[in-house]
């Protein structure tokens, strides 16, 4: 049995154990770093707010109610419709903490799920020249389209379906690429690396937030190096995120650093393949 079949069978097993009546338990068990204050505006709409360096930021985010079915759990590009995952929130907070990285830059978010929260924050507050938000699932992209209509932007913002396995050859070269928690599926990892390599400007940077999850993060890095990309992995990349992570380690018995805590991978282009650096 190959890796793709093993991954598919694992999701079949999970899908067959999930029913509508246990969805509340699934959502309640998730880890949160409480980086954003989340205020319910209406049935589907929420206001995500954060205070960063004495500045207040907020965005209107649509979280459409879903019913988790086996079919919806079968593909990796459906996981973004389940919830806004902690890695996306962490990456969004990192964006707000480093807005100078985005000024006058073109930005692409890959696998942004139903919110593309990191890309939305960059578009709202980063003074970018252009922002393009993507996911492989049409339902996610539809939800992002709704979010774009509900917020006021001073920069050009677009969204579209982007499937990495189609090896898009006509992508623009972007100054900044964002991706959160996109490394865990074996069958999609190589396609993600290729998409980053083909769409990243030579003087640009890709920021990927993801937990280790065993060897998956390092397998991604090895693939990236083979494409001529340079990777730098950071653990303590934001003071508040590190503080919240440290508290989880001390006080939450369900917290597992390997599977929960997002590391930050900074990726640049080079013509040489060099070893990954760790900070």
Please give the pLDDT value at position 104: 98
Beta bridge partners of 269: 229
- Cα angle 107-110-113, degrees, rounded to a multiple of 5: 120
Please give the pLDDT value at position 45: 96
Q: Taking the model in full, what pTM does it have?
A: 0.85
- Fold assignment, 85-269: Rossmann fold (3.40.50)
Sheet holding 277-278, edge to edge: 156-161, 130-135, 106-110, 174-180, 200-210, 263-269, 229-234, 277-278
Low-confidence ranges of the chain (pLDDT < 50): 6, 10-29, 68, 71, 74-76, 272-279
Please give the pLDDT value at position 165: 87
Give the pLDDT confidence of 85-143 residue by residue, as tens digits. Answer: 899 999 999 999 999 999 999 999 999 999 999 999 999 999 999 999 999 999 999 99
Cα–Cα dist 161/174, whole Å? 17
Please give the pLDDT value at position 19: 41
């Amino acid at each position: 049995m190959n890796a793709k079949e093993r991954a598919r069978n694992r999701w079949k097993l999970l899908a067959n154990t999930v029913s509508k009546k246990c969805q509340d338990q699934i959502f309640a068990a998730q880890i949160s770093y409480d980086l954003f204050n989340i205020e319910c505006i209406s049935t589907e709409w929420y206001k995500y707010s954060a205070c960063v360096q004495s500045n207040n930021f907020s965005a209107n985010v649509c979280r459409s109610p879903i019913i988790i079915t086996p079919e919806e759990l079968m593909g990796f590009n459906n996981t973004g419709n389940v919830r806004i995952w902690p890695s996306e929130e962490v990456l969004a907070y990192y964006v707000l903490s480093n807005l100078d990285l985005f000024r006058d830059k073109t930005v692409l978010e890959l696998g942004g799920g139903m919110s593309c929260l990191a890309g939305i924050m960059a578009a709202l507050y980063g003074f970018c020249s252009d922002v393009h938000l993507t996911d492989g699932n049409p339902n996610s992209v539809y939800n992002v389209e709704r979010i774009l209509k509900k917020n006021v932007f001073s920069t050009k913002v677009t969204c579209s379906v982007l499937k990495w396995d189609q090896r898009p050859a006509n992508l623009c070269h972007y100054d900044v690429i964002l991706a959160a928690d996109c490394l865990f599926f074996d069958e999609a990892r190589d396609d993600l690396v290729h998409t980053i390599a083909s769409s990243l400007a030579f003087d640009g940077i890709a920021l990927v937030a993801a937990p280790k999850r065993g060897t998956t993060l390092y397998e991604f890095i090895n693939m990236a190096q083979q494409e001529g990309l340079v990777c730098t992995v950071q653990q303590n990349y934001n003071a508040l995120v590190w503080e919240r992570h440290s508290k989880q380690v001390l006080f939450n018995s369900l917290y597992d650093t390997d599977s929960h805590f997002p590391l930050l991978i900074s990726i640049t282009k080079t013509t040489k393949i060099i070893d990954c650096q760790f900070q």
